[in-house]
Structure 1
Amino acid sequence: MNLALWIAAGLLAAVALTGGISKTFVPKEKLAAVHGGGWTEDAGVGFVKTLGLFELLAVLGLILPVVVDIAPVLVPVTAVCWVLLMVGAMVTHGRRGESKFVALNLTYLALAAFIAWGRFGPESFTG
């Protein structure tokens, strides 16, 4: 179970890193032109960059607290925050009729929920 949770955290961190870098450092116009990036047309630059920063923080929150052994409870807290972020992403893509992206966000949500459940519960770092 611990290995599965680490794999899930690693996968989610990779997703967050990719999304975070693109939203933070790629111009909004370029993001809007990419498949699945059309939602950025309706969002302000600051909002998109803030989402990118949240995703970059999620990378740190999923891995770093355990590695440095400081506040490991932040791992499942970060996973819960990711669940909330994915709910917002699913609503946004759903409103745009982008069902493929809703399904993809649901997959990421499920990974985050698994991490939150596992790290708050049976494989807690504090136990």
Structure 2
Amino acid sequence: MVNEAVCKRRQCNLSVQGGDVETFRIRSVSGGTGLRIDFCGDHRAPGFPDLARLLAAGLGATCAPTSAPAAQAMMASDRYVGAWSYAGGCYEIDDDVWACVIHAPDGSDRVVADIERVLVPSGRFVRDDAPG
């Protein structure tokens, strides 16, 4: 099993210094159930907030171990998915070359609201409610 540090290694460009305020949108999952949070900026740019660390601290979340074959497949495809859980539920941070998305499949309204309550007060994120 790969430990939590590997889970956090590439989650949404784990930079921690400075940067502009980033925008996110909350949407329904296409063809599925639940909600997702889409990050609108360049999630791999220097200065993009460290989502994994921010949410781990704010929610008390922990990352589930990833098997070595799964970690190798993620590295080969330049896609990193971390399954996180906390007292209020679970969510996944899905980071690939095109986007960074947080998906909360179970109890998503509550989980997404909890995540928003961490993101916005951090001063690094604002919610965009514009359609589209």
User: Rg bigger for which structure?
Assistant: 1
Which bracket does the TM-score occupy, shorter chain normalised? Answer: under 0.3
TM-score by length of 1: 0.25
Which protein is richer in helix relative to its size? 1
Taking structure 2 as the reference length, the TM-score comes to 0.25
- Between structures 1 and 2, the one with greater strand share: 2
